[in-house]
Structure 1
Amino acid sequence: MSIFESYKAPQGVLEIGGLPLPRLAERAGQTPFFVYDRSKLGERVALLRQMLAPELRIHYSIKANPMPALVQHMASLVDGFDVASAGEMRMALDAGMPARHVSMAGPGKSSQDLRGAVGAGVTVTLESAHQLEAVERIGRELGVRPRVGLRINPDFQPRSSGMRMGGGPRQFGVDVEQAPALLKVIAERDLDFVGFHVFWGSQCLDPGTVIAAQRHVAELVMRLADLAGDSLEFVNMGGGFGIPYFDNERPLDIGAVGAAMQEWLTPLRRRLAGTRLILEFGRYLVGEAGLYVCRVLDKKVSRGETFLITDGGLHHQLAASGNFGQVLRRNYPVAIGNRMDSGQTETCHVVGCLCTPLDRLADNVVLPAAEIGDLFVVAQSGAYGRSASPSAFLSHPLPVEILV
Structure 2
Amino acid sequence: MTGEPWSTGVRRGPDGVVSVAGVDVHALAAEHGTPAYVLDEADLRTRARAYRRAFESAFAQIGAGVDVYYAGKAFLSVAVARWVHEEGLRVDTSTGGELAVALRAGIPGEHLGLHGNNKSTAEIARALDAGVGRIIVDSLVEIDRVADAVAARGGEPAPVMVRVTTGVHAGGHEYISTAHEDQKFGLSIATPPRPASEQVAAGPTTSADAAVNGAAVNGAAVDSGAGDSPAMCALLAVLARPELRLLGIHSHIGSQILDPSGFEVAARAVLTLRAQLAERTGVLVDEVDLGGGYGIAYLPGEVALDPDRIAKDIAASVQGSARDLGTPLPRFSIEPGRAIVGPAGLTLYTVGTVKPVRLDDGRVRTYVSIDGGMSDNIRPALYGAQYHAEVVGRLAGPETVLARVVGKHCESGDIVVHEVQLPADVRAGDLLAVAATGAYGRSMASNYNHVPRPPVVAVADGATRVLVRRETEDDLLALDQG
* Distance (whole Å) between structure 1 residues aligned to residue 4 and residue 137 of structure 2: 43
Distance across 2 between alignment mates of 1:128 and 1:356: 37
> Out of 152, 161, 165, which is 1:141 matched to?
152
1:44 matched to 2:99? The reply is no
- 1:393 alignment partner in structure 2: 448
Does the CA contact (< 8 Å) of 2:267 and 2:290 recur in 1? Answer: yes
The structural deviation recorded for 1:154 is: 3.0
- For 2:316, the equivalent position in structure 1 comes to 262
What is the identity, as a one-letter code, of the residue corresponding to 1:376? L
Name the CA shift for 1:14/1:134 in 2 (closer, same or farther; >3 Å).
Answer: same
Is the alpha carbon distance of 1:93 and 1:340 closer, same or farther for their aligned partners in structure 2, counting shifts above 3 Å?
A: farther
Q: Is residue 232 of structure 2 the alignment partner of residue 180 of structure 1? A: yes
The letter of the residue matching 2:88 is V
Does structure 1 retain, via aligned residues, the 8 Å contact 2:347–2:433?
A: yes
Q: CA deviation at 1:255?
A: 4.3
- 2-structure distance, mates of 1:340, 1:324: 33
Per-residue deviation, 1:402: 1.0
CA deviation map 1:4-26 (0-9, x unaligned): 48412323222112111111122
C-alpha spacing 1:72/1:247, structure 2 compared with 1 (3 Å) = same
The answer (yes or no) to whether the contact 1:149–1:197 under 8 Å persists in 2 is: no
1:371 maps to 2:427 = yes
- Give 1:104 shift: 0.9
Deviation, structure 1 residue 383:
0.6
**Conserved 8 A contact 2:264-2:317:** no
2:473 is aligned to: none
For 1:64, what is the secondary structure of its paired residue? coil
CA contact 2:66–2:334 (8 Å) conserved in 1: yes
Q: 1:205-231 CA distances to partner (integer Å, 9 max, x unpaired)? A: 013333333343333334335557556
Cα distance in 1 for residues equivalent to 2:281 and 2:100: 30
Q: CA 1:136–1:375 in structure 2 vs 1: closer, same or farther (change >3 Å)?
A: same
Unaligned runs of 5+ in 1: none
| Counterpart in the other structure of 2:31 | 27
Cα-to-partner distance string for 1:14-50 (whole Å, 9 max, x where unaligned): 211211111112232x211101111111221233244
Does the aligned pair in 1 maintain the 2:5–2:300 contact within 8 Å?
no
The 2-side partners of 1:150 and 1:259 are apart by: 25
| Equivalent-residue separation in structure 2 for 1:80 and 1:264 (angstroms) | 22
TM-score by length of 1: 0.88
Q: How many Å apart are 1:334 and its aligned residue?
A: 0.8
Q: CA deviation at 1:179?
A: 3.1
How many residues are aligned here? Answer: 396
Letter in 2 for 1:12: G
Establish whether residue 210 from structure 1 lines up as the match of residue 269 from structure 2: no
Question: Displacement, 1:361?
Answer: 1.9
Query: SS of the counterpart of 1:350?
Result: strand
Tell me, in whole angstroms, the C-alpha distance in 1 between the residues paired with 2:4 and 2:342. 16
Alignment CA distance shift 1:80-1:267 (3 Å): same
Alignment of 1:142-291 (within 5 A): 142-158=153-169, 162=173, 163-176=176-189, 177-189=229-241, 190-226=243-279, 232-246=285-299, 249-260=302-313, 261-265=315-319, 268=322, 271-272=327-328, 275-291=330-346
> Which runs of 5 or more residues in structure 2 are unaligned?
190-228, 359-363, 460-482
Counterparts of 1:228 and 1:44 in 2: how far apart (Å)? Answer: 40
Hey, what's the Cα distance between the residues in 1 that align with 2:180 and 2:366? 45
Q: Check 1:180–1:298 CA distance in 2 against 1; reply closer, same or farther (3 A cut).
A: closer
Report the identity percentage.
28
Given the superposition, is the C-alpha separation of residues 156 and 291 from structure 1 closer, same or farther in structure 2, using an over 3 Å criterion? same
Give the residue type in structure 2 aligned to 1:334: A
Q: Shift of residue 97 of structure 1?
A: 2.2
Looking at structure 2, the residues matched to 154 and 206 of structure 1 have their Cα atoms a distance apart, in angstroms, of 18
> Normalising to structure 2: TM-score of the pair?
0.75
Counterpart contact for 2:41–2:458, Cα < 8 Å: yes
Residue by residue over 1:329-385, the C-alpha shift from the partner in whole angstroms, topping out at 9 and shown as x without a partner, is x64111111136643433332211111111122344211222221111111101111
Within a 5 Å distance, the mapping from 1:16-165 to structure 2 comes to: 16-28=20-32, 30-52=33-55, 53=58, 54=60, 55-122=65-132, 123-158=134-169, 162=173, 163-165=176-178
Does the Cα contact within 8 Å between 2:347 and 2:435 map onto a contact in 1? yes
How far apart, CA to CA, are the structure 2 residues paired with 1:82 and 1:183?
21
- Bigger shift: 340-349 or 194-203? 340-349
For residues 149 and 112 of structure 1, what CA distance do their matches in structure 2 show? 17
The one-letter amino acid of 2:332's match is L
Post-superposition offset of 1:306: 2.9
CA drift of 1:316 comes to 0.5
Cα 1:302/1:171, change in 2 over 3 Å: closer
Report the AA paired with residue 116 of structure 1.
R
**What's the CA shift for 1:119?**
2.2
Distance in 2 of aligned mates of 1:5 and 1:83: 25
User: Counterpart of 2:91 in 1: which secondary structure?
Assistant: strand
C-alpha contact 1:207 1:253 (8 A) present in aligned 2: no
Does the CA-based 8 Å contact 1:118-1:146 persist in structure 2? Answer: no
More moved, 366-375 vs 255-264: 255-264
- Higher deviation after alignment, 378-387 or 169-178: 169-178
C-alpha spacing 1:39/1:228, structure 2 compared with 1 (3 Å): farther
